[in-house]
Amino acid sequence: MKFSMIPQVLSQMLKKPFTNKFPAKYIPSSVTGYLKDVQSGKAKMIPPVETPEGFRGKIQYDRDTCIGCKLCIKVCPTDAIEFVPETKKIRIYLSRCCFCSQCNDICPKDCLSMGDEFLLADTDKYSSDLIVE
């Protein structure tokens, strides 16, 4: 066929769009206003595509099991982990974290793991959401 894309385009008109319309079908006039509406329950957010099992999202830290061995600091490629000498525990700055989960692999006590949260954008890189301790 000379123009082999035409049947494809025509059939697509009858199909549902492939794109997941996250977070809303049409762009809201004010994003912050829309997010406030979602929080107060006035608007409903279209959820993002689900992440599979084993997804590397926001890091989880089990503070009680940590022995302060500093091995995670040794392998962290981005220097995102800080050692707090007073408590002998670590503090992870997510704004620097590259989500490689190498610290999970080296931890002798398995006190670090990857969660599935990934909507982590923030205007303040030191916001409490972005510091795990």
Q: How far from the centroid of its chain's Cα atoms is residue 12's Cα?
A: 32
User: Under DSSP, is residue 89 helix (H, G, I), strand (E, B) or coil?
Assistant: strand
- Can residue 100 be called a binding residue for other proteins (CB under 8 A)? yes
Both structure tokens of 106: 């080296």
Which residue from 38, 66, 114, 120 is in contact with other proteins, where contact means CB under 8 A?
114
Which residue from 42, 44, 70, 74 is in contact with other proteins, where contact means CB under 8 A?
74
In the complex with other proteins, the residue whose CB is nearer, 1 or 27, is 1
Cis peptide before 28 (omega within 30 of 0): no
In the complex with other proteins, the residue whose CB is nearer, 33 or 68, is 68
In the complex with other proteins, the residue whose CB is nearer, 38 or 71, is 71
In the complex with other proteins, the residue whose CB is nearer, 44 or 55, is 55
Site residue total, other proteins (CB under 8 A)? 28
**Contact positions toward other proteins, by CB under 8 A?**
1-5, 8-9, 18, 51-56, 71, 74-78, 98-102, 105-106, 114
